[in-house]
Amino acid sequence: MTVAHSAADLEQELAELPVLDVHTHLCGGKLAARGLHDVLLDPLGVSDLYSAGCPRGTRLSQFPDWPSREEAHQRIEEALPFLLRVANTSTGWGVRIILRDLYDWHEPITSANWERLDDLIRERSSDDAWARSVLSRVNIRRSCTEHSRRGLGQDDDVLQYSLEWGLFMRTRPGEFDTAVYELERTWGRPPEAPAPVCSALRPPTYRVIRTLDDVHGAIRHYIRTIPYAEVIATAASFSTDIDYRQPSDSEMEAALERRATAGLTERNIYAAYIGEAFLAALETRGTDIVLQFSLGAEALPVETASRVRQKTLAQLAEIVGRHPHLRFQCFLSSRHANQTLCSLCRELPNLSLAGFGAHNFFPDTIRQVFAERLDMVPINKQVGFFSDAYSVEWAYAKAIIVRKQMAHVFAEKIAQGQYDREQALWVARELLFESPQSLLRMTPEHGQLRG
């Protein structure tokens, strides 16, 4: 049997395995796409179209302010002339999978028919049973999403939650006090949605940080406010542009006094100091929670691009090593950094790897990253899948795309005698279903958190 035939057979067998999706942006009470815009214009789709010449590369209005029908239709009409130019991309492939499999739509999308397709998607958007059937078709038993998107808890049986709130170690173009502002917007407040990664808007905060005591008071509030009984993880982002050396108290105090004229030096001090103080405080909670962090997706004026410096990887190793009682899990968006992360994972017991980040979600990259991790990292230190999806339709498409790549990699390893078929399927089940339970306390069914 050829590798191609073996991969096709394996894909069918992989389809029978249960899956836990460890990171999404699904919304309780509204799991499905709200219209054609949620299929065509998810973040990856917007980037493809913008690159092809579409006039706007910004995301549509984001949670909790969903795009109006007028906004959604305007953006679809802007995208129509460029759809053929992005049909070659893996995102274009995902759109075709969604429309073919879930909506029985086989026509090119044109100015003459897109409204009919939009109506079809909108008609199903409020059907919770239909949304759940989409997840069932790819055997996704449960998904983890942002705590702020829980709604009234009506989908708790298929959703678990991660707290995405203050992101103290990320950067924004042209901004030098992001870490302080991110901490300010959480101080004295209950958990809320995170600030959009590429937005330049800075609404006024409830309190203002002026002193070192303010910094530590705000961090104490943050740690106390995390709803530990309701979340399995909290989110962070390690920007590669930050120097993560450990600033002293006096350096931080002096940097706060210079906030009005802050530059790159102050930006590094703010992010490194607040980030380290936050991690030290979170570590006191032991195994209550996992710190999931993104690496390699760096902010641009309208979206992100893949960049990681070797210095960042070295400093990341130091950070994880400094906090042995805090569990870290990396969402990597850089193909070239994967080998380094694998080697760190081998030597740092509290570091694990998960799935394929935004800029790694392309078939050839998925195969390389997955094959390297199979060879280098124990199965209980890695998770095989997260969709990063904003609708069940995209969770469906991404599960199919990942499964095809996994089947290809397993077929090659079987052909060279590294695994037999039974071993390959066992490893796949561990990565897709068992590791999310042991690493994150995800549970296949609604009930008590595992662990």
Whether residues 121 and 151 share a domain: the answer is no
d(CA 134, CA 224): 37
Name the residue range of residue 307's domain: 135-440
- Residue found by looking up tokens 């086989």 in the block: 106
The H or E element spanning position 304 is: strand 304-306
Whether residues 253 and 396 share a domain: the answer is yes
Is residue 107 in some structural domain?
yes
**Sign of the C-alpha dihedral, residues 428, 410, 362, 169?**
positive
**Domain end among 82, 100, 125:** 125
Whether residues 269 and 418 share a domain: the answer is yes
Is residue 71 in some structural domain?
yes
Angstrom CA distances, 328 to 147, 279, 381, stand at 19, 10, 11
R_g (Cα) of the chain, nearest Å: 22
**Sign of the C-alpha dihedral, residues 243, 247, 251, 255?**
positive
Per the structure, how many domains does the chain have? 2
Is residue 446 in some structural domain?
no
Whether residues 117 and 254 share a domain: the answer is no
Whether residues 112 and 178 share a domain: the answer is no
d(CA 51, CA 303): 12
Whether residues 196 and 297 share a domain: the answer is yes
**Domain end among 78, 106, 125:** 125
Burial class of residue 83 (count of CB atoms within 10 Å of its CB; 0-12, 13-18, 19+): buried
Residues of the chain with pLDDT under 70: 1, 5, 198-199, 447-451
Whether residues 291 and 159 share a domain: the answer is yes
d(CA 270, CA 259): 10
Q: Residue 198's pLDDT is what?
A: 67
Is residue 299 in some structural domain?
yes
Q: Residue 451's pLDDT is what?
A: 45
Is residue 20 in some structural domain?
no
Is residue 449 in some structural domain?
no
Whether residues 259 and 401 share a domain: the answer is yes
d(CA 75, CA 60): 8
Angstrom CA distances, 193 to 145, 150, 186, 350, stand at 12, 11, 10, 27
Is residue 103 in some structural domain?
yes
- Decide: 259 and 201 in contact? Cβ < 8 Å: no
**Domain end among 78, 94, 125:** 125
Whether residues 240 and 359 share a domain: the answer is yes
Whether residues 90 and 173 share a domain: the answer is no
Whether residues 87 and 152 share a domain: the answer is no
Q: Could you count the other beta carbons within 10 Å of the beta carbon of residue 106?
A: 8
- Decide: 428 and 14 in contact? Cβ < 8 Å: yes
Whether residues 209 and 116 share a domain: the answer is no
Is residue 172 in some structural domain?
yes
DSSP annotation of 349: T
Sheet bearing 233-238, strands edge to edge: 19-21, 140-146, 159-163, 233-238, 290-295, 327-332, 351-354, 382-383
The tokens for 191 are: 């958990």
pLDDT in tens, 419-434: 999 999 999 999 999 9
Domain CATH for 340: 3.20.20.140
Return the closest-CA partner of residue 407 out of 2, 6, 7, 4: 7
Q: Residue 50's pLDDT is what?
A: 96
